[in-house]
Amino acid sequence: MSQPQPQALLVLPHLRIQNANAIASPLTHGFPSITAFTGLMWALERKLALAGVALRLHAVGVVCHHHQEQVTHGYVRSFNLTRNPVDKDGSTAAIVEEGRMHLQITLVVAVSEKNTPDTASVLVQGNQAQWAEWARIAGETLAGMRVAGGSVLPSRAVPGKRVRPWMDIVPDDPVEAASLFRAWRRQWLPGFALVGRDDLLMGRLQQLRATHAQATLLDAWLHASRFNHQALPSADGMPAIDGQVAWGDPFRPKGSGWIVPIPVGYAALTALHPAGSVRNARDATVPVRFVESVYSLGEWVSPHRLQSLQQLLWQAETDETLGLYRCRNGYRPLPGQDGANAATGAASDWDDEEAYDYT
């Protein structure tokens, strides 16, 4: 997937989020869905427009520096829940399970300028003061918003780190852009960036179909979402002298990466309903469609392993024909440097026509 080159970068570093939503979808938990951050990006763009900041926000990247899921620790974990006040008749109120977590994250947003014929461009070299002002407004605006359902706390000073929002121009020259990106990514350490790995899901499906011809994408996703321990053969193929058998997951060898199941968007369940025809819809001025979550695989990668800005960013895509609303990421591992690909025989081609079944 190719992404357009952004004019500039808006970075909101080391945001402290309290009680963010830890349940990303009906089947996953542990980190907010990437759709929460694309939704935040669009909401921020609308608020910036009201504040007079003429920026268009295109894509967002997420780097997690710290996370603390609010759960009880042990072999079996459960969410820490709150006891709600009693009902008006004095009876005990029902407990609604809510997953919460505390986060420290950096948001990297690709932006461009909303140019008009009678105004000069601001996103050019020499306008650093204007960039700093726009970044300050963006940071103050975000401080009053919800991030994945959580509240934004004041940032703490971090020795050697920039904790205030900042902007910079993305050079047109690829060599200069790559050099500048290497300087940017050092500021996001220590941390891990969430990137998309659709290729691993297709590779796991091919691996399963080698022994189970009827395996589906759901089987492959569930298989890749868990540890599949089995007895591993010795290096020389001969039984061990002491009778000891090594156990492990052949699909997760050393160096295969931190692979996780993630929701990446939504697939339509119904046709579009006219605006105002569905009761209690959030916005009665736009058409409404019922959807379900779409899942894929993601990987947590240290920012210093990213080769370009496009590998970090997520952008939303819409396919009206398939009824597919999902987020795409431009990450592609370098040949020979991806242990997960070697273990699963990952496919490089991903066809939505084959990957989603709406029958």
pLDDT digits (tens, 9 = 90+) for 199-252: 888 888 888 888 888 888 888 898 888 888 888 777 766 666 667 788 888 788
User: Do 175 and 204 lie in a common domain?
Assistant: no
> What average pLDDT score do residues 6-19 get?
91
User: Do 216 and 149 lie in a common domain?
Assistant: no
- pLDDT (0 to 100) of residue 223: 87
> What average pLDDT score do residues 300-328 get?
91
- pLDDT (0 to 100) of residue 46: 93
User: Do 121 and 46 lie in a common domain?
Assistant: yes
pLDDT digits 0-9 by tens, 144-180: 999 999 999 988 777 777 889 999 888 888 899 889 9
Burial of 133 (0-12, 13-18, 19+ CB in 10 A): middle
Out of 190, 210, 229, a domain closes at 190
User: Do 29 and 137 lie in a common domain?
Assistant: yes
User: Do 268 and 168 lie in a common domain?
Assistant: no
> What is the pTM for the complete model shown?
0.84
Q: Please state, in angstroms and rounded to a whole number, the distance separating the CA atoms of residues 199 and 205.
A: 10
Give a yes or no: residue 135 inside a domain.
Answer: yes
Residues counted in the chain: 359
- pLDDT (0 to 100) of residue 241: 67
For residue 6, whether the previous peptide bond is cis, meaning omega lies within 30 degrees of 0, is no
User: Do 145 and 257 lie in a common domain?
Assistant: no
Question: For the chain, what is the radius of gyration of the CA atoms?
Answer: 23
Backbone angles phi, psi at 263, to 5 degrees: -85, 140
Residue 223's domain comprises: 198-355
Give a yes or no: residue 65 inside a domain.
Answer: yes
User: To the nearest whole number, what is the mean pLDDT of the chain?
Assistant: 84
Q: Please state, in angstroms and rounded to a whole number, the distance separating the CA atoms of residues 75 and 72.
A: 10
- pLDDT (0 to 100) of residue 5: 67
Give a yes or no: residue 87 inside a domain.
Answer: no
Residue whose C-alpha is closest to residue 112's, from 44, 46, 58, 173: 58
- pLDDT (0 to 100) of residue 153: 92
Burial track 159-169 (b if 16+ CB lie within 10 A, e otherwise): eeeebebbbbb
User: Do 269 and 174 lie in a common domain?
Assistant: no
Give a yes or no: residue 86 inside a domain.
Answer: no
Helix residue ranges per DSSP H, the chain = 34-50, 128-143, 174-186, 198-209, 217-224, 339-344, 352-355
User: Do 44 and 128 lie in a common domain?
Assistant: yes
Residue whose C-alpha is closest to residue 11's, from 181, 206, 176, 259: 181
User: Do 19 and 147 lie in a common domain?
Assistant: yes
Give a yes or no: residue 181 inside a domain.
Answer: yes
Give a yes or no: residue 84 inside a domain.
Answer: no
Out of 135, 169, 190, a domain closes at 190
Question: What are the respective helix, strand and coil percentages of the chain, to the nearest 5?
Answer: 25, 30, 50
Give a yes or no: residue 89 inside a domain.
Answer: no
User: Do 218 and 166 lie in a common domain?
Assistant: no
Max CA separation in the chain (angstroms) = 82
User: Do 18 and 47 lie in a common domain?
Assistant: yes
User: Do 226 and 351 lie in a common domain?
Assistant: yes
Out of 172, 190, 208, a domain closes at 190
Percent of the chain with pLDDT over 90: 37
Give a yes or no: residue 88 inside a domain.
Answer: no
* Counted domains in the chain: 2
